[in-house]
Amino acid sequence: MTLFHETQGRCPVCFSSVILKKLRSTEGYVAFDLDYRVYARGADPVRLLIQRCDSCQYTEYVTDFLKDVSPAVPDCMARNDYRALLKASRSSDFPLVALIKAAKDEGPERLAYCYLRASWFAGDLGRAAEEEQYLHQAREQFQRALSGAADSVNAADSGRLRTTYMLAEIHRRLSLWEEARAYLREVDSLEFAVLVRDQFNLIQRKDALRRRAKSSR
């Protein structure tokens, strides 16, 4: 059974009371994709990561929802891009979270994952152009994250490898084969060995589709 832990709090933007539902456990994971999207038996755990305030439409990860915000956040929510997204038919709320996180200046990696997740839900609805647009936005943010990591002293850490691997996956999904191969060659670590082999095989066949990780079956 999918279990929630409920927390009563106040929206940090409009101060309305909100009940946050935080996922405690799922019915177990059944598989994961090459980009680490997980599938559970019950409710989709990824959709449950975020919540929107019914009064002001502030949208954030449940874990970050109650934290105080700077004036940059209500400014962002008053902007045309945020309001247009609210009115549009949405495949998910992750693009809204991406705008909030950009206003909070939380860095490229967190933005990258918002756009990656946005691409999953656009893809689920068969909205190919939207899926591709979000993959491009994820790519841009992962590249920013990688160039930031190159300047840091911890350049060889596992976070950097993971970002490089994600860039390989996204370039494959966008049919940018040579770039995908170049990123994969940078991921020579035991942790990613099976995934890297699967990726090289898919690139060889020019397969740009979302794929399950074989090791997840």
Contacts made by residues 77-81, CB under 8 angstroms, sequence distance 24+: 77/13
Question: How far apart are CB 78 and Zn ion at their closest, in Å?
Answer: 13
Among residues 58 and 94, whose Cβ is nearest to Zn ion?
A: 58
**Token pair in block for residue 53:** 């305030």
Q: Which residues pair with 6 in a beta bridge?
A: 21
Residue type, 214: K
Least distance from Zn ion to the Cβ atom of residue 15, Å: 7
Binding site for Zn ion (CB under 5 A): 11, 13-14, 53, 55-56, 58
Between 74 and 159, CB nearer to Zn ion: 74
Please, what is the minimum distance in Å from the beta carbon of residue 14 to Zn ion? 3
Cβ at position 106, least distance to Zn ion in Å: 19
Q: How many CA atoms lie within 13 A of 212 on its CB side?
A: 9
Q: Which is nearer to Zn ion, 7 or 55 (CB)?
A: 55
Ranges of H-type helices in 5-154: 72-78, 80-87, 94-103, 108-124, 128-150
Nearer to Zn ion by Cβ, of 14 and 85: the residue is 14
